[in-house]
Amino acid sequence: MKIRHILLLLATNILVSSSAMQAYATNNWPENDSTKKEAPENWFNLDRETDNVQGVSTEKTYQELLGEKESRTVVVAVIDGGVDVEHEDLQGKIWINEDEIPGNGKDDDGNGYIDDIYGWNFLGGPDGENVHHDTYELTRELVRLEPKYEGANPDDLSKKEKKEYEYYQKLKEDYDTEMSQMQEGLKNFAGLKEMVAQSMRLIAAYLNMEEEDLEPASLEQVNSPDERIKRAVSVIDYALENDLNMEYLEEAIEYFENQVKYYLNKEFNPRSIVGDDYDDLSDRVYGNPDVAGPDADHGTHVAGIIAANRDNKLGMKGVANDVKIMAIRAVPDGDEHDKDVANAIRYAVDNGADIINMSFGKSYSPQKAYVDEAVLYAEEKGVLLVHAAGNDSKNLDDANNFPTKDLDNRRKDAKNWLEIGASSWGDATNFVGEFSNYGKKSVDVFAPGVDIYSTMPGSEYEEQNGTSMAAPVTSGVAALLMSYYPELDAVQVKDVIMKSASRFDAMKVNKPGQPEEEGAEDMIVFEELSVSGGIINAYEAVKLAESMTMKKSRR
C-alpha cells in the first residue's frame, strides 16, 4: 500500500471533540481494533447451532425443511434510491410488467405510468432528468415556516399559530445545531487533507524520493532529530495501524460537503426537475421509468439481500429463492418526500407487490396523514410493509423515524407493519449493531445488519452496515414464507416472524451507541430492545408456518 494513499489522522483528540465527527465515525469510520475478526462469509444466512453465528438460518431451512416443496413467486417492491436491474446476480429476479410494451411511449396497461417495465421512478422528470440530491425535511420545513415566523412576536399569535411557532422554534434550533456541526466537520476534514499533503511532501523531501514511490518500509529509513519529521512519521504510523486511507478521507469530505451544499441548504430545491404540483397530494402520476437513477448503490444492495440468485454460483446468495424485485425509486440523496413515499406504496400495491421493503427514514413528516392513508391501503390489500428502524442509536419509543406503524388516524398500529433493528455477528459485546435504533414498543424484531455482503451496481459486490440491510433480510424471510405457504396472509406472516424469533434468556448485550468493550457498564438485556425480544429465524418460522397450515388443512 503506497503511503500517498494513507489517511493522516494528526490529532485524534481534535477530531473526536467534534460531535459531527463522532456522528460520522459511528456509521462510517473503519474499526480501529486490528484484532477484530471479520464477519463469516454469507453469515446472515447461516445458523446459530450449525455455523456458530447468529444468522437467520436460511441455508439450514432450505436444506432440512423445504426440500422439493413447491413454491410460488412472490413480488417484493423495493422503495429506495434505485436498483441496477442489469446486475448479474439479479437476472431473472426483477419484476417485469408484462402488460407494458417497452419503449413505445404509451401507457399500454392503463395504470397511468408510461413504460413502467421494472417499476417506477417518482424522482424523475418527463424529459428523463432525475433528482439526485435533495434537502432534509428539516430544511424544507424551516423554509416553509420561516417567512411566517422569523422575528414574530408570540404575543401577537393565535393559539393555533403559537403551536406552529413553537414547532418552528424547534426546527430552527435543530437546524442551527446541525449546520454548525457539519460546517465544523467540513472545516476539520479539509484541514486534515491539507495536512496529509504537507506530511507526504515532508517525508518525500527528506528521503529525496518522489511521493508516489514512498512505501511503508520507507519510514524505516527516517532518522532525524527534526520534530516535524518525527511528528510526520508518528502520524503516518498511526494511520497505517488503523487502516485509514485517502479514499476514506475523500468520502468523509464528500459527506460533510453534501450536508452543507445540499441537505441543509435552504436555497437548494431540485423539485422542479420532477415538474409535479407538490402541494397537490392527489397528483399521483409523475416521474419517469428510470428505476436506477443517478445512484443505485443502496437500492441494489437491498435488492440483492432479498433476491440475489441462490443457484448461479455468483457473488452472493439472497434470502428468498422464488422472488421478483419491483424497483420503485422514491428516495433521493437526502430526505424522501412524504408524497413520493405514499405514491410509491400505492404503486406497489396496485401493481401486485406482496411485500414492500422500506429501507429509509427521517425525523420529520409534515404530510404523515397522507402516508398513513397509503399504509392503511396496503393493509386493506394484504400487503406486508417492512421498515428499517434507522441508524441513530436512538430509542424510538422516545424519538421519531418516519414513516411509522403508529397511525395518527386510528388508535392501533398498522397490522401489516414490521419495524426492524440491526443485529451483528459477534458475541455479547458485538451482538447488536451499535448504530441501530431500538425500542421495546416501537421496534418489532432484529435481523442481521452488520457487515452484510451484497450486490452493487455494475455487477459489483460490497459489505454495508445498517438497519437498511436488516430490513431486506426480513423481507426475504417474509417472501420465503409467502412463497411456500401462500395460505398465510400478511398479518399472519408478521405474526409467524415475531413468534418464531430466536430469544436469548435475558442475555445482556452491547447497547446501541455504547462502546464495544468486554464488561462495559452500559449493557442491556437484549429482549428490552424490541417488542419480540428476538432475532429473525427462518428455520423456526417455516416450522411454525407448516404447523399453522397443517392445522388449517385438517379443518
Cell of 394: 436512538
The whole-angstrom separation of Cα 467 and Cα 418 is 12
Per-residue pLDDT of the chain (555 residues; tens, 9 = 90+): 444 444 333 333 334 344 555 455 544 533 333 334 789 999 999 999 999 999 999 999 999 999 889 999 999 999 999 999 999 999 999 999 999 999 999 999 999 999 999 999 999 999 999 999 999 999 999 999 999 999 999 999 999 999 999 999 999 999 999 999 999 999 988 887 787 778 878 888 998 988 778 777 888 888 899 999 988 888 777 766 666 667 778 888 999 999 999 999 999 999 999 999 988 988 999 999 999 999 999 999 999 999 999 999 999 999 999 999 999 999 999 999 999 999 999 999 999 999 999 999 999 999 999 999 999 999 999 999 999 999 999 999 999 999 999 998 677 799 999 999 999 999 999 999 999 999 999 999 999 999 999 999 999 999 999 999 999 999 999 999 999 999 999 999 999 999 999 999 899 999 998 754 444 557 999 999 999 999 999 999 999 999 998 766 555
* 495-520 per-position pLDDT tens digit: 999 999 999 989 999 999 875 444 45
The whole-angstrom separation of Cα 138 and Cα 318 is 35
8-state DSSP, 405: S
Beta bridge partners of 453: 463
Q: Which superfamily, per CATH, for 43-135+269-554?
A: Peptidase S8/S53 domain (3.40.50.200)
* 78-87 per-position pLDDT tens digit: 999 999 999 9
E strands, 245-401, in order: 323-329, 355-358, 384-388
Q: Is the dihedral of CA 489, 495, 499, 501 positive or negative?
A: positive
CA neighbor of 47 nearest in space, from 531, 539, 489, 430: 539
Cell of 94: 426483477
Q: Is the dihedral of CA 311, 315, 321, 327 positive or negative?
A: negative
Residue type, 108: D
| pTM of structure | 0.91
H or E element in which residue 189 lies: helix 159-207
CA distances from 517 to 372, 431, 434, 467 (A): 41, 12, 12, 22
The whole-angstrom separation of Cα 337 and Cα 135 is 10
CB 215 within 8 A of CB 3: yes
Alpha-carbon Rg for the chain in angstroms = 25
The whole-angstrom separation of Cα 418 and Cα 405 is 8
* 315-371 per-position pLDDT tens digit: 999 999 999 999 999 999 999 999 999 999 999 999 999 999 999 999 999 999 999
CB 58 within 8 A of CB 48: no
Residue boundaries of the structural domains of the chain:
3-30+139-263, 43-135+269-554
H or E element in which residue 508 lies: strand 508-510
**With helix as H, strand as E and coil as C, how does 414-468 read?**
CCCEEEEEEECCCCHHHCECCCCCECCCCCCEEEECCCEEEEECCCEEEEECCHH
